[in-house]
Amino acid sequence: MSIHGVLGESTSYPKTYQPDTLYAIPRSMGRNEINWQEDKLQVGVDWWHAFEMSWLNSQGISQMAIARFGIPASSPNIVESKSLKLYLNSLNFTEFDSWETVEQTIAKDLAACVGAEVQVSLFGLDAISSGREADTGFLIAHPQGKCIDQALDNLPGKVELVEHPDASLLAEDVDVSASLDQAEKQYQLYSNLLRSNCPVTNQPDWGTLAIDITTSQNIDEAKLLTYILSFRQHNGFHEQCVEQIFADLSQRYSPSKLMVRAWYTRRGGIDINPCRVSDSSLLPQPSRLVRQ
């Protein structure tokens, strides 16, 4: 009996240290599609967590850790996620004399790939399983604010599947200029229904999206949820999806403050968590949600 299809495909994993496995993708590819002020998309961080981190100590004994990589949104490149997985696997049988050397090596290699300084931290399993999770950001958290996932439940009509994100779904039925003189309000909203597809493999990517916005305009939660659902068949990297949402909300609501953040579920032992803010002072700490 033979196995056909994707289940029969194999991947060759390197068994020796291979930094050239890392594959850079220019951020400009996604930002050119957004067609908005690129400098406003460069404030933020992409946090990556790698849960299958291992290497050898000087005695040849396997070491285990969880890694966090902080890649600045101002970097000219992102790293393709499967290439990162292959790179990390190339460390599995490589000897290092200390944890610090591992951190320094990864930081150097990722910086060379993305074109900017990368923050690398390794956490021992005891550090995140003995009551100190809050200090590391690995304590399972909950998004702040109001979940809008039921905002469409009692409304007539059907949400259609579309091929690409549609910012026109955010449009109000009335003249939005009437709300410009209103006092600003802060909205903290989130949805667990963010879905898009990897543009490389076409595999689905699921995430939780959080929006913290201060604006004088009213936000219709049903319209916002419909807009988020318009990403379901979109082919875009995690970072590009968050930046698209950040750009669309900025143009639609003219906010004085805005944070758009996503926690994506793991694939290949790695999760990606982009965050974009209108001002660096709004940048939160890295965290982990229940689906991660």
Ranges of each domain in the chain: 19-130, 146-282
The alpha helices in the chain, defined as continuous H runs, are 28-34, 81-89, 99-114, 133-136, 221-229, 238-253
pTM of the model: 0.92
**Backbone Cα Rg of the chain:** 21
* 146-282 has CATH 3.30.1130.10 classification: yes
Residue showing tokens 């689905």 = 204
Based on the residue annotation, tell me whether 205 is a catalytic residue of this protein. Answer: yes
Helices (H) and strands (E) in the chain, counts: 6, 12
The C-alpha atoms of residue 231 and residue 220 are separated, in whole angstroms, by 18
- 190 close to 125: Cβ distance less than 8 angstroms: no
Write phi, then psi, for 168 (nearest 5 degrees). -65, -20
The C-alpha atoms of residue 181 and residue 32 are separated, in whole angstroms, by 33
Catalytic, out of 149, 166, 198, 220:
198
- CATH of 19-130 given 1.10.10.60, 3.30.1130.10, 3.40.50.720, 1.20.1530.20: 3.30.1130.10
Based on the residue annotation, tell me whether 198 is a catalytic residue of this protein. Answer: yes
Report CA 110 to chain centroid distance, whole Å: 17
CB atoms within 10 A of CB 270: 20
Structure tokens at 211: 């929006």
State the greatest distance between any 2 C-alpha atoms of the chain, in Å, as a whole number: 71
Strand runs labelled E in the chain: 24-26, 44-56, 62-72, 77-79, 119-123, 140-141, 146-147, 185-197, 204-215, 257-264, 270-277, 288-289
Structure tokens at 187: 């909205």
The C-alpha atoms of residue 134 and residue 292 are separated, in whole angstroms, by 15
pLDDT of residue 181: 63
pLDDT by residue for the chain (292 residues), tens only, comes to 334 444 445 677 888 999 999 999 999 999 999 989 999 999 999 999 999 999 999 999 999 999 999 999 999 999 999 999 999 999 999 999 999 999 999 999 999 999 999 999 999 988 776 555 556 888 889 999 999 999 999 889 899 999 999 999 998 765 555 555 689 999 999 999 999 999 988 999 999 999 999 999 999 999 999 999 999 999 999 999 999 999 999 999 999 999 999 999 999 899 999 999 999 999 999 999 999 9
pLDDT of residue 5: 45
pLDDT of residue 142: 93
Residue showing tokens 């979109």 = 234
pLDDT of residue 133: 53
The C-alpha atoms of residue 228 and residue 219 are separated, in whole angstroms, by 14
Catalytic, out of 46, 109, 205, 248:
205
Q: Hey, what amino acid is at 288?
A: R
19-130 matches 146-282 in fold: yes
Torsion angle, CA of 281/283/286/292, rounded to 10 degrees? 160
Length of the chain as a residue count: 292
- 6 close to 31: Cβ distance less than 8 angstroms: no
